[in-house]
């Protein structure tokens, strides 16, 4: 048996940053994503966001990769949102996402950051936050 712990901070946004997720919708989406992830063996430690995006702290399993997890979480949740008619317009996630590995000594700060997304985004716009993430982690765009 192998023992692993690979933490990944993932962020994904709605298509064209449309603010679909008012509080009651976001809460339902988060609950659904947690439930779906559990059924599929995806360990999400924390998940929260704001009107047009979500942050997650995920621990990868030994046979999992970020691309498959993101495809699963985003694809299944957008299907469920539309099937459940949670939004007036057709719901879509942006194709892109942001993902960065996280060291064990960063976990508690990241959990706090994810828990406080609503308060955080009363002060900072999503575009500014994403620009900071790209610069801080020197993220590069990859095309599949």
115-133: per-residue pLDDT in tens?
A: 999 888 778 777 787 777 7
Residue 1 lies in a domain: no
Could you tell me if residue 144 is inside a domain?
no
pLDDT of residue 142: 64
Q: Would 17 be classed as within a structural domain?
A: yes
* Contact indicator for 97, 14 with CB cutoff of 8 Å: no
Least confident of 21-30, 54-63, 119-128: 119-128
Query: pTM of the full predicted structure?
Result: 0.89
In a domain, 103, yes or no: yes
Number of domains forming the structure of the chain: 1
Tell me the three state secondary structure of residue 14. strand
Domain containing residue 123: CATH number: 3.30.70.1290
What residues make up the domain containing 54? 6-137
Mention every residue, 6+ apart, whose C-beta is less than 8 A from residue 72. Answer: 36, 40, 42
Which sign, positive or negative, has the C-alpha torsion 48, 29, 23, 126? positive
Distance CA 92, CA 132 (A): 24
């Amino acid at each position: 048996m192998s023992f692993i712990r690979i933490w990944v901070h993932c962020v994904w946004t709605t298509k064209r940053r449309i603010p679909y997720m008012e509080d009651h919708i976001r809460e339902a989406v988060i609950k659904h994503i947690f439930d779906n992830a559990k059924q599929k063996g995806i360990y999400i430690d924390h998940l929260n966001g704001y009107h047009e995006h979500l942050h997650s702290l995920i621990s990868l399993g030994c046979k999992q990769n970020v691309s498959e997890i993101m495809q699963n979480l985003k694809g299944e949740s957008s299907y469920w949102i539309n099937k459940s008619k949670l939004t007036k317009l057709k719901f879509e996630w942006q194709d892109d996402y942001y993902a960065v590995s996280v060291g064990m000594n960063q976990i508690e700060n990241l959990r706090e950051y994810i828990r406080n997304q609503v308060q955080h985004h009363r002060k900072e716009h999503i575009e500014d936050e994403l620009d900071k993430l790209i610069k801080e982690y020197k993220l590069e765009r990859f095309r599949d």
